Amino acid sequence: MTRFIFITGGVVSSLGKGLCSAALGALLQARGYKVRLRKLDPYLNVDPGTMSPYQHGEVYVTDDGAETDLDLGHYERFTGVASKQGDNVTSGRIYSTVITKERRGDYLGGTVQVIPHVTDQIKEFVEAGITDEDFILCEIGGTVGDIESLPFLEAIRQLGNELGPERSMFMHLTLIPYISAAGELKTKPTQHSVKELLGLGIRPDVLMVRIDRELPPSERRKIALFCNVREEAVIPAMDVDSIYQVPIAYHAEGLDAQVCKHFKLSYEKEPDLSRWKDIVHRVREPEGEVTIAVVGKYVQLKDAYKSLSESLMHGGIANNVRVKLDWIDSEVFEREDAVTHLEHVDGILVPGGFGERGSQGKIEAARFAREKNVPYFGICFGMQMAVIEAARNIAGIQKASSTEFGNTPDPVVGLMTEWVKGNEVQRRTEAGDKGGTMRLGAYACALAAGSRVRDIYGTPSIMERHRHRFEVNINYKQALEKAGMKFSGMSPDGVLPEIVEYPDHPWFIGVQFHPELKSKPFEPHPLFTSFIEAAIKQSRLV
Ligand code: GLN
């Protein structure tokens, strides 16, 4: 029997609803249940793929090629369950499905309305593709009170009714601010938010309250009374020093026990949290520290590189070191010498990116790393920039560039108009749609015998996730290999370069895919583990 837990948020955004959902998923898993997490996003984009990183943070890509909300990254990192296309649904997708059906005549002459047509479509998505999961945790994006989220709240209200309390539960996350002038914690915003929810017909069964200090029993009683929730189901969610402490902290406050109690499941036996305790121990008591420069364009907004910073931390966990990140806007290298910014670092990472702005700085960073023998990890755009650097500065192809920046006589990176996925040929045109037309999702890559990456992965073939439009141009392979840059990973048909490396450099690897999307704290990605290991060696040199 699959049970549904609907998670809403109130008072303000950015309370960490995604993390809270992911942590609850991990706790239920630790109790032996099979879980899947889903997210309903109220905005009208069909998916976040067309949104700027400044707007939305990172776009998380699934194996099956969906461009999704970054919360799905938290879900995967906390549960290890690979997300799928159907695990993130936006209002845009719902409406576009409903409108397509209407045009097709599926509604048989009826007037198409938010209730029941849009809400039915939402319910269909929530319940689709479920196999043998014990729990579906369904997070509703946004904050209760937003106009956009109303159809979603109405749909989950209906579902709650249809499924009954034995199969559904509502959890609401709010904030209890501390007003320093009065020296008091304030419960009023939480009361208002619950009132709003009650007005929509949803009664929360569990209230999670974000708070920056202990919740006194008197305040807990007050919230329970005013919000019509059992006192023990008011769970304080205090700030913690590591996100991987969250499952442990929520368990200590009784969250998983309350959920089990609601569904009349036994909760006396303690869940096995040893995995999380080990990770937190490693995070809190590292044996050393390395500094990695992340040279990117969206560095002011850390959410744009969420999976990346987590993966670097996982590399640290694997090597028992703390990883300090120096976020550097690549444009500074276009004005100032790279040395002043990169001299002290133990490794340089150039992440994914789009557009010409800042690209020259990334090329400079790759050059610095190559010439000074500093470990370099280029991801997607970071690989493409390393290839342009090699073409210009070693192979002597002075005009080498990417067609992403305009016409060039030497397109060492160019637009792919046709490629193979499985047994199918995929196509795109220059004037085609922007949304959903990149090379997306998991593709196989064959690793060259004797290469460093083959050694790191320990297997001849890998599957990694992609999200890009441009590719390193195979026609320049010979010239670049002659210059010393080896093409150590290729698509199985040998057409698309997937990995480049310098065999005579301490650690210089560029990958066309996004390894950060598959790293987990309890299963750090081998490339990040190896990169941090190289950075430790480098730190002993400087
Ligand atoms: N802009 C590049 C492309 O589309 C790289 C994309 C990325 O780094 N994800 O190919």
Same domain as 478, residue 373: yes
Mean pLDDT of 4-16: 92
User: Does 257 share its domain with 318?
Assistant: no
In the predicted model, is pLDDT for residue 329 greater than 70?
A: yes
The closest residue, in CA terms, to atom 8 on ligand 1 is 352
Question: In the structure, what pLDDT confidence band is assigned to residue 54 with cuts at 50, 70 and 90?
Answer: confident
pLDDT of residue 155: 97
Strands 439-447, 486-490: pairing is antiparallel
CA distance from start to end of the chain = 58
If asked whether residues 302 and 398 sit together in one domain, one would say yes
514 is known as an active-site residue: yes
462 found inside a domain: no
Query: Is residue 288 a contact partner of residue 281, using CB atoms and an 8 Å limit?
Result: no
How much is the pLDDT for 433? 67
Task: Write the pLDDT tens digit of every residue in 420-442.
Answer: 667 777 776 666 666 667 889 99
* 162 and 71 in a common domain: yes
Using alpha carbons, select from 303, 233, 307, 246 the residue that is nearest to residue 273.
246
Query: What's the gap in Å between 59 CA and the centre of ligand 1?
Result: 12
CA–CA separation, 376 and 58 (whole Å): 22
Question: Among 244, 262, 279, which residue terminates a domain?
Answer: 279
Which residue, judged by its Cα, is nearest atom 1 of ligand 1? 354
Using the atom order of ligand 1, give the atom closest to the CA of residue 514.
Answer: 9
Confidence of residue 542 (pLDDT cuts 50, 70, 90): low
Domain presence at residue 253: yes
Query: Both tokens of residue 350?
Result: 């150039």
523 φψ region: left (φ > 0), alpha (ψ -120 to 50), beta (else): beta
Atom of ligand 1 nearest to the CA of 355: 1
Question: For residue 11, what pLDDT band results from cuts at 50, 70 and 90?
Answer: confident
Q: Which of 58, 389, 516, 533 is catalytic?
A: 516
Any domain includes 151: yes
Of 298, 350, 470, 516, the residue with max ligand 1 atoms within 8 A of its CB, to mutate for a pocket test, comes to 470
Q: Write the DSSP symbol of residue 378.
A: E
Cα(381) to centroid(ligand 1), Å = 5
For 261, phi then psi, to 5°, come to -60, -45
Asked if residue 205 and residue 138 are part of one domain, the reply reads yes
Mapped to the 3 state alphabet, what secondary structure does 356-375 carry? CCCHHHHHHHHHHHHHHCCC
| Higher per-residue confidence, 117 vs 56 | 117
Q: How far is the CA of 426 from the centre of ligand 1 (A)?
A: 17
Position 485 in a domain: yes
The CATH code of the domain that includes 139 is 3.40.50.300
Read out DSSP for 412-454?
A: EEEE--EEEETTEEEE--TTS-STT-SEEEEEEEEEPTT-HHH
Q: Is residue 91 in a domain?
A: yes
Count of all residues that appear for the chain in the document: 542
Whether residue 103 is contained in a domain is answered as yes
Minimum CA distance residue for ligand 1 atom 7: 352
Q: Taking a C-beta distance cutoff of 8 angstroms, is the pair 28, 255 a contact?
A: no
Residue 166 pLDDT more than 60?
yes
Q: Which atom of ligand 1 is nearest to the CA of 467?
A: 9
Determine the distance separating the centroid of ligand 1 and the alpha carbon of 440, expressed in angstroms.
11
374 Cβ partners below 8 Å, 6+ apart?
A: 342, 345, 346, 347, 348, 368, 506, 538
Best of 51, 52, 428, 468 for a ligand 1 pocket test (most atoms within 8 Å of beta carbon): 468
Q: Which of 279, 306, 324 is the last residue of a domain?
A: 279
Set 341, 505, 514, 525: catalytic member? 514
Confidence of residue 100 (pLDDT cuts 50, 70, 90): very high
Nearest CA-CA partner of 388 in 361, 425, 426 = 361
Residue with tokens 């004797």: 450
For residue 529, which amino acid is it? T
pLDDT, one tens digit per residue, over 357-375 is 999 999 999 999 999 999 9
CA distance 475 to 495: 10
114 CA to centre of ligand 1 in angstroms: 38
Q: Cβ atoms within 10 A of the Cβ of 106, count?
A: 12
Q: What is the mean pLDDT of the chain?
A: 93
CA-nearest of 504, 538, 138, 531 to 314 is 531
Tell me: do 210 and 140 sit in the same domain: yes
Regarding whether 154 and 113 lie in a shared domain, the answer is: yes
Task: Locate the ligand 1 atom nearest the alpha carbon of residue 353 and give its number.
Answer: 8
Cα–ligand 1 centroid distance for 383 (angstroms): 9
Give the structural domain span for 168.
Answer: 3-279
* 44 and 166 co-located in one domain: yes
Residues 254 and 360 in one domain: no
Which residue's CA is the nearest one to ligand 1's atom 5?
Answer: 381
For residue 358, the model assigns a pLDDT of 92
* Whether residue 275 sits in one domain with residue 321: no
Q: Is 167 exposed, middle or buried (0-12, 13-18, 19+ CB in 10 A)?
A: middle
Domain membership of residue 14 (yes or no) is yes
User: Known catalytic residue: 380?
Assistant: yes
Q: Any residues with Cβ below 6 Å from ligand 1, and which?
A: 352-354, 380-381, 404, 467-470
Strands 376-379 and 347-350: parallel
pLDDT at res. 125: 96
* pLDDT reported for residue 419: 64
- SS3 assignment, position 107: coil
Question: What was the pLDDT predicted at 129?
Answer: 93
Statement: residue 416 has pLDDT above 80: no
Better-predicted residue by pLDDT, 57 or 423: 57
- What is the distance between the alpha carbons of residues 444 and 498, in angstroms, rounded to a whole number? 9
Asked if residue 273 and residue 369 are part of one domain, the reply reads no
Residue 442, in any domain of the structure: no
* pLDDT above 80 (res 8): yes
Domains of the chain: total: 2
Residue 97 class from Cβ within 10 Å (0-12 exposed, 13-18 middle, 19+ buried)? middle
Which ligand 1 atom lies nearest to the CA of residue 352?
8
Mean pLDDT within 310-319: 96
Contact 493, 509 (CB under 8 A): no
| Rounded CA separation 16/103 (Å) | 39
Q: Are 34 and 437 in contact (CB under 8 A)?
A: no
Q: At what angle do helices 71-79 and 306-319 cross, to 10 degrees?
A: 20
Measured CA to CA in angstroms, residue 357 lies from 377, 402, 530 at distances of: 20, 13, 30
- Pocket test of ligand 1: the residue of 404, 473, 512 to mutate, having most ligand atoms within 8 Å of its CB, is 404
Burial 320-348 (b: 16+ CB within 10 A, else e): ebbbebebbbbbbbeeeebeebbeebbbb
Predicted local confidence at residue 281, as pLDDT: 94
Same domain flag for 162 and 225:
yes
Query: Is 512's pLDDT higher than 90?
Result: yes
CA 306–ligand 1 middle distance (angstroms): 17
Position 161 pLDDT exceeds 90: yes
Q: Of the residues 380, 466, 501, 533, which is catalytic?
A: 380
Nearest atom in ligand 1 to the alpha carbon of residue 379 is: 8
Q: Which CATH number fits the domain that encloses residue 328?
A: 3.40.50.880
Q: Which of 305, 330, 469, 471 to mutate to test the pocket of ligand 1 (most atoms within 8 A of CB)?
A: 469
Are 227 and 194 contacting, i.e. CB atoms less than 8 angstroms apart? yes
SS3 312: helix
Whether the link from the prior residue into 116 is cis, omega within 30° of 0, is: yes
Q: Contact 536/322 with Cβ under 8 angstroms?
A: no
CA distance linking residue 130 with residue 123, whole number of Å = 13
User: Region 286-315: what's the mean pLDDT?
Assistant: 92
CA of 10 to the centre of ligand 1 (A): 36
Q: What is the DSSP letter of 409?
A: S
Q: What is the pLDDT of residues 169-213, one digit of tens each?
A: 999 999 999 999 999 999 999 999 999 999 999 999 999 999 999
Q: Which of 279, 307, 329 is the last residue of a domain?
A: 279
Atom of ligand 1 nearest to the CA of 382: 8
HSE-CB at 424 with a 13 A cutoff on CA atoms is: 5
Give the distance (Å) from ligand 1 centre to CA of residue 40.
27
Cβ atoms < 10 Å from Cβ of 470: 21
What's the one-letter identity of residue 517?
Answer: L
Residue 379 CB-half CA count within 13 A: 27
